[in-house]
Structure 1
Amino acid sequence: MGNFKVVVREISLSTRRKLELIDITAQVERVAAESGIRNGVCLVFAPHATAAIIANEHEEGLLKDIEGKISELFPVDQPYLHNRIDDNAHAHIASSFIGASLVLPVVNGRLLRGTWQNIFLVELDGPRSSRKVVVEVMGESSD
C-alpha cells in the first residue's frame, strides 16, 4: 500500500471570444501523470463565477452546437437584475447551471476518461487575458 499524496497545480490561459470552449485535456493529463498518484481522483476546478468546466467530445461541429445551446439557454439580452451592476448576468447564470468543476478517476497512474471525453474550460464572459484552472490530484502514491 502506498502513501496518500495531494498535488495541486494551476493552468493559466487566456480566452479570445465572449463564449468559447477551450480544450485543456493535455494539460490536465500532464498534471495527473506527473503527480505520482497511482490511484485516486483528479479535481478540475475553474475559480471563476463566469466560467465552467465540462467533459465532452472535441469535434468542431459539436463545440459550435454546445456554444449555440448555451447562448439559447442563457441569452445576453435579458433584463437580468445583476446587469444593473455588471453586464454579465447571463455568464453567471450559465456557470451556475453548467458547473465550475469536474472530478475524474486516476487509475494506474493515468487519468480515466471516456474515448470521446475531453476536458474543456467554458469561457462565458470573455475575452479574458487571464483565466486559471486548478487541478488537484489526490490518492495513493508509490512515493
Structure 2
Amino acid sequence: MASYIETLRVRSKERIQVIDITGDVEAIVRRSGISEGICLVHLPHATAALVANENERGLINDIIRKIREEFVREGWEHDRIDDNAYAHLASSFIGPSRAFPVSSGRILRGTWQSILLIELDGPRERNVVVTVVG
C-alpha cells in the first residue's frame, strides 16, 4: 500500500471565514500518483474546522451566521484564558477532518461538494495535512 502526505498552508483574513481548498486538495491527490484509495484532509488546529458543502455565497454567509448564532463570543469559562472559547466549541462540533474516496486518481465528491476550511479564530495561517493512501 502506498501513502503520500503533503501539508497545504492557508492564510485567512477574517476572524470567521470560509475558504475553498478543493482545488489545492485535488492537486495534491494528483501529485500523490495514487489512483485508488482514501484521501484524509486534516486540520491540526483546535480553532478551525472542515466541511464538505456547496461553495455558494449565500450558503457561506448562512454557515458563518449559524456559527455566530450557536457559538456566541462571550460567557464561556475558557475565555478567561484566550477569549476564543466559541472557536474551540465550534471546531469541536464541526470537526477537524474529512475523508474522501479516491478513484481513478480523483476525489469522489458530490457535484456541489467543495472542501471548505472554516477559520474560526483568524486571521492566521493554518496547516492542512492531506494524506492519500491506496
Measured against the shorter chain, the TM-score band is over 0.9
2:105 corresponds to which of 81, 88, 109: 109
1:73 corresponds to which of 56, 70, 76: 70
Q: Distance in 2 between matches of 1:13 and 1:28?
A: 12
1:62 corresponds to which of 41, 59, 63: 59
* Contact residue 20 and residue 123 of structure 1 kept, 8 A: yes
What's the Cα RMSD here?
Answer: 0.6
2:19 corresponds to which of 12, 22, 25: 22
- In structure 1, the partner of 2:114 is 118
Displacement of 1:108 in angstroms is 1.2
* Contact residue 82 and residue 89 of structure 1 kept, 8 A: yes
- In structure 2, the partner of 1:11 is 8
Displacement of 1:34 in angstroms is 1.4
Give the aligned residue type for 1:108: S
- In structure 1, the partner of 2:131 is 136
The DSSP-based 3-state class of the residue aligned with 1:38 is coil
Per-residue CA deviation, residues 16-71 of structure 1 (Å, 9 max, x unaligned), is 00100000000000011111111100000011000001100010011000100011
Q: Percent identity?
A: 53
- In structure 2, the partner of 1:34 is 31
Unaligned runs of 5+ in 1: none
- In structure 2, the partner of 1:53 is 50
2:89 corresponds to which of 74, 77, 93: 93
Per-residue CA deviation, residues 56-114 of structure 1 (Å, 9 max, x unaligned), is 0010011000100011011112x111011110000000000000000000011111110
* Contact residue 33 and residue 111 of structure 1 kept, 8 A: no
Runs of 4+ off more than 4 Å = none
User: How many residue pairs align between the two structures?
Assistant: 134
* Contact residue 56 and residue 119 of structure 1 kept, 8 A: yes
